[in-house]
Amino acid sequence: MIEVIFLGTGGIKPTPERNVPSIAIKIGGEIILFDVGEGTLRQMEIARISPMKIKRVFITHFHGDHYLGLPALIQTMSLWKRKDPLHIYGPEGSSTFLQNLLNSGYFAPSFDILVHEISGKSRLKFKEYEVWAFEVSHGVPALGYVFKEKDKRGNFNLKKIKELGLEPGPWMKELERQKIIEINGKIVRLLEVTGPKKRGAKVVYSGDTEPCDEVIEFSRRGTLLIHEATYVNEEDRKDSYHTTIEEACEIWKKSKARKLVLFHRSPRYSFKEYKEKALSICPQAIIPRDFDRIAIEGAGDVLFKIR
Amino acid sequence: MIEVIFLGTGGIKPTPERNVPSIAIKIGGEIILFDVGEGTLRQMEIARISPMKIKRVFITHFHGDHYLGLPALIQTMSLWKRKDPLHIYGPEGSSTFLQNLLNSGYFAPSFDILVHEISGKSRLKFKEYEVWAFEVSHGVPALGYVFKEKDKRGNFNLKKIKELGLEPGPWMKELERQKIIEINGKIVRLLEVTGPKKRGAKVVYSGDTEPCDEVIEFSRRGTLLIHEATYVNEEDRKDSYHTTIEEACEIWKKSKARKLVLFHRSPRYSFKEYKEKALSICPQAIIPRDFDRIAIEGAGDVLFKIR
């Protein structure tokens, strides 16, 4: 099971009622952060999430509301004598930006900070999950991300095991590791004795963007599409590189992702006003508040919201 | 009357219950900020104080918890199309630090940002007030500041006016401006026809420091001494460049400032625990919470706390 935790659901600037963007994904004992708006450290304190569990941070782009919370996070990790390296991923320009950020005051990180600049479509493989990146359209180098939990093997099928003249036993652990082993003179493949693969959750985060096809492409069969919907209509959006609720809803429908979360709400709307408007346009959409959590079992078979 | 508004009373890092340092002083329609920890913009929103009223920001030193809230403030001022220049004062190194900060992302301030580096003792004169700066001892270039409200003339003394054969009239406005005028063939000095000068409020902010004599020197006859008291005892303080409650209390007594505020509380103490300890050591001290306000009439004749 993974958990998507909304640490900041608003955009542009904080208001008393919600902070600027940050999404944490919890998988096992690890926390992955997507965007780190100013004040994210305090939001993590309130959500009781330890910064020390963060291995990787993915920044969509370098507008202030998406990254200014990084130095305080780094400062606190140092205060707590972190040793593990911190990996920060971001679009073109990230290294210079982050270097300048850490040269903006007296910082002495107690750990290595490794910056990975991403341009174009990228697929990053890690132990339990992958992260894919794709470029979006926001007037400055900007990325959307996909968090893809690794698929898991199907359940062991006792009937099939017995048909091979075998009995359940420790060999199954070995088979799980090797995918194919020899036992009692027989070659056994994992796929032969297990049910259908359990697809891992797929969470897509658009970052800031005007409507763009890449999001549809990368959200196909996704579990959760978190799409910015900064404005309720085009009139409010004017010529900024953002998306309206209606457009986000269209993109979601085209992508056939299971669920849509509307994100990065402009400070001009109260939650109530925005939610009413959003549900009138897109009744199935989820409109999170800061600190809402969505737990996802597998590829979305079980999806429930914990508050 | 001026108002001292505590936007962030804690030090080192934010906790759910209090933010990192920022003090706003309200004089007339102007807001002056002393330190801008991360999240100050949101604290100002909660305190209903507009960033647009800020002309000057005084940074004590460039540890993250004292300045990282600046870029979000600048970003919001630009969003609201600010035209007036913003003056930022700070210790040695400020220009480079702030340049790096603004080069850490896509910023396009709609107004000029003028950085003033201060080293040694300095006296900055403005229309309604002065700000004095002095070096403190914190292991990195660091300043303490004094906000000195301009003294005001005494009230006009009718008896003295009559003794000069004069009657109250518009000439008094002229005299106030010129300090000395000729009327009905007589030279009249403002001081001759007014009561004792009304001393303006004097608010001293130590910034982060270990105990140092400069604070005593600059706090003499002050109205309010806001002194850091990060730790409740030397054991907790260890060898960090900070001050304990007891030491802050001693400094206050030596300075003979009217009131002491204990500030920059370490995140290791709850408010309750800290207050109990503080009042047991220094019963007269004020221990503010975030958003507490202290209104000061003149040099402290009337001093009350609005919550």
- Neighbouring C-alpha atoms within 13 Å toward the C-beta of B201: 23
Rounded CA-CA distance A38/A66 in Å is 7
Active site residues of B: 65
What phi, psi does B2 have (nearest 5°)? -120, 165
Q: What pLDDT score was predicted for residue A298?
A: 74
Residue A61 marked as a ligand binder: yes
Determine contact, residues A180/A187, Cβ cutoff 8 Å. yes
Rounded to an integer, what is the distance from CA A15 to the centroid of its chain? 23
Which residues in chain B are classed under CATH 3.60.15.10? 2-152+198-305
What does the block give as tokens for B177? 């401006």
What phi, psi does A237 have (nearest 5°)? -65, -30
Provide the residue type at B117 as one letter. E
Rounded CA-CA distance A113/A109 in Å is 8
Over residues A63-88, the pLDDT tens digits come to 999 999 999 999 999 999 999 999 99
> What DSSP letter does each residue of B36-52 carry, written as one string?
--TTHHHHHHHTT--GG
Q: What pLDDT score was predicted for residue B16?
A: 96
Determine contact, residues A71/A107, Cβ cutoff 8 Å. yes
As a whole-number percent, the residues of chain A with pLDDT over 70 amount to: 97
| Contact between chains at A79 and B106 (C-beta distance less than 8 A) | no
Rounded CA-CA distance A125/A135 in Å is 18
List, in sequence order, every beta strand (DSSP E) within A190-240: 202-205, 224-228
For this structure, is A65 an active site residue?
yes
Which residues of chain B are within 8 Å of residue A46 when distances are taken between CB atoms? Answer: 16
A272, pLDDT greater than 70? yes
Over residues A210-233, the pLDDT tens digits come to 999 999 999 998 999 999 999 999
Mean pLDDT computed over every residue of chain B: 95
If you classify domain A2-152+198-305 with CATH, what class do you get?
alpha beta
Q: What pLDDT score was predicted for residue B304?
A: 59
Rounded CA-CA distance B38/B59 in Å is 13
What does the block give as tokens for B255? 């300075």
Q: What pLDDT score was predicted for residue B11?
A: 97
| Contact between chains at A38 and B68 (C-beta distance less than 8 A) | yes
Residue A47: band (very low, low, confident or very high) from pLDDT cuts 50, 70, 90: very high
Determine contact, residues A281/A246, Cβ cutoff 8 Å. yes
Q: What pLDDT score was predicted for residue B303?
A: 63
Over residues B146-176, the pLDDT tens digits come to 999 999 889 999 999 999 999 999 999 999 9
- Neighbouring C-alpha atoms within 13 Å toward the C-beta of A284: 12
Q: Chain A within 8 Å of B298 (Cβ-Cβ)?
A: no
Determine contact, residues A69/A38, Cβ cutoff 8 Å. yes
Over residues A108-124, the pLDDT tens digits come to 899 999 999 999 999 99
Rounded CA-CA distance B81/B170 in Å is 41
Which residue out of A65, A84, A112, A239 is catalytically annotated?
A65
Rounded CA-CA distance B17/A194 in Å is 51
In a mutagenesis test of the A interface, which of B106, B113, B115 is the best target, namely the one with the most A β-carbons within 10 Å? B106
Report which DSSP code applies to A18: B
Work out the average pLDDT over A131-151: 97
Judging by DSSP bridges, how do beta strands A143-149 and A129-135 pair with one another? antiparallel
Exposure of A112 by Cβ count < 10 A (0-12 exposed, 13-18 middle, 19+ buried)?
A: exposed
Mean pLDDT computed over every residue of chain A: 95
Helix axes B94-102, A94-102, angle to 10 degrees: 150
Beta bridge pairs of residue B23 = B6, B34
What lies within 8 Å, CB to CB, of B293 at 6+ separation is B3, B4, B5, B6, B305, B306, B307
CA distance A106 to chain B (A): 5
Rounded CA-CA distance B140/A75 in Å is 16
Determine contact, residues B90/B118, Cβ cutoff 8 Å. yes
